[in-house]
Structure 1
């Protein structure tokens, strides 16, 4: 005789899932998206569920430790078990692999060359380079140091790292380059504009005729993890193509950042 219990163990049951678990996750997602504790009414509105239905889930989550209810005002917030779960997930996360997967996705999506840089003692360091359908002839390799000035990569780091970190690296780069005149550091207004735009586009910065679009990747609450960059011949980044590809670079950077635990304000 076929019973409901038997169905639980079948592949068909597994494919349909458990609706109550999915509803519960939607409620927890509301707390993840919120910047503060929430009332029953707020959770109800955020999830588009009846307050009576939401209340039953909230009570179960409080008992399990996923949520807590503040005694003074009755608001609900993420609890100790939710924090432990989040810390465990972040501890098992391979940030470099996540960022690399995003980089490869960007290459496959656009067909252009992409690279990833991280911050080193002397400034941005190239850690990954993936050629597109039209390989670029460049004098760059894994481990190469990227100039902070005049490059989209460098300006992205300047915009998202404190000057206490970037200024010594900039001084070291200028010393090694033996520049007779000190290059101008971008103004605060320029750096703020870069932060607001979420990406930066430069023409022929490192290679004549090759343009670049760079975007920041964040890890955790607000730490800059890396910069992903798309490089292509100038003819490929003109007019509407530039706008479309720039949006794709920014979208991948946001996607990777979200996977690494970053939440935009």
Structure 2
């Protein structure tokens, strides 16, 4: 039985009351007694005590003698989100510059297992565009951004292969030997280009973004309709994509020679 069911409070109200308790804590007042929490929330003493007890039990709050603090568990859970927001904010100028330099939509991706997710976009001004949305999730093996992840992170390749190389179009590479050849070529070139591997009529060029200690943290690239991005365009566009990815890496603290 959930805490809400035990207390007789509907689940949504429990979440609202949890938020009320957590919002009591500030930088100026990081540690509060139960009495202070009760006063700040305006909740009945018995309800406040029950909520605080449950929050401590689940790691949202920590007991500090007679007071309470935001729990280290909550801080740990929030850290990935904070990092992601910092990365999006810091690399935003790189995306915008790439969009302006190429005229095409620029995207920043992060990896989660066998998938990549769009976390930031600078949209093209063209009326005809390849549609991207923040939060869009795609397989690693189909498309240039995913292949950059696999080329520079062995764990990404392993995750993709273990998950299975499903075919999205006739151009999707599902042969592991051929895929490995492509990954080796991507490492030599410093970028990847793909044409209609995930969607018909879509093309992309992508490059790696490295973090402070030299690890691959993201991939930055452009996506466009094949009517504007053809294989013959890659020679002119790839250096712009690589330069934008290098700029994003510098903004995240990476220095050449760290890897």
Q: TM-score, normalised by structure 2?
A: 0.56
**2:162 — aligned with what?**
171
| 1:207 maps to 2:207 | no
255-264 vs 99-108, which moves further: 255-264
**2:53 — aligned with what?**
none
**1:126 — aligned with what?**
118
Match of 1:218 among 204, 210, 227: 210
The question of whether the paired residues in 2 share the 8 Å contact of 1:117 and 1:226 is answered with yes
Match of 1:159 among 151, 155, 158: 151
Match of 2:219 among 227, 230, 240: 227
The question of whether the paired residues in 2 share the 8 Å contact of 1:123 and 1:170 is answered with no
> How many residues are matched?
169
CA change 1:147–1:209 in 2 (3 A) is same
Q: Please, which runs of 5 or more residues in structure 2 have no aligned partner?
A: 1-82
Output the CA distance in 2 between the equivalents of 1:215 and 1:242: 12
- Offset from partner CA, 1:223-261 (integer Å, 9 cap, x none): 111111111222323476432221111111111112222
The question of whether the paired residues in 1 share the 8 Å contact of 2:130 and 2:224 is answered with no
Match of 1:183 among 174, 180, 184: 174
The question of whether the paired residues in 1 share the 8 Å contact of 2:130 and 2:202 is answered with no
**2:97 — aligned with what?**
105
**1:24 — aligned with what?**
none
Output the CA distance in 1 between the equivalents of 2:127 and 2:163: 31
The question of whether the paired residues in 2 share the 8 Å contact of 1:147 and 1:173 is answered with no
Output the CA distance in 1 between the equivalents of 2:105 and 2:192: 16
Output the CA distance in 2 between the equivalents of 1:137 and 1:110: 13
Q: Please, which runs of 5 or more residues in structure 1 have no aligned partner?
A: 1-90
- Offset from partner CA, 1:173-194 (integer Å, 9 cap, x none): 658x9xxxx9323554432221
CA change 1:152–1:245 in 2 (3 A) is same
Query: 3-state SS of the aligned residue for 2:141?
Result: coil
Output the CA distance in 2 between the equivalents of 1:260 and 1:143: 21
Output the CA distance in 2 between the equivalents of 1:143 and 1:193: 29
Output the CA distance in 2 between the equivalents of 1:211 and 1:202: 6
What is the Cα-based RMSD across aligned positions, in Å? 3.0
The question of whether the paired residues in 2 share the 8 Å contact of 1:123 and 1:166 is answered with no
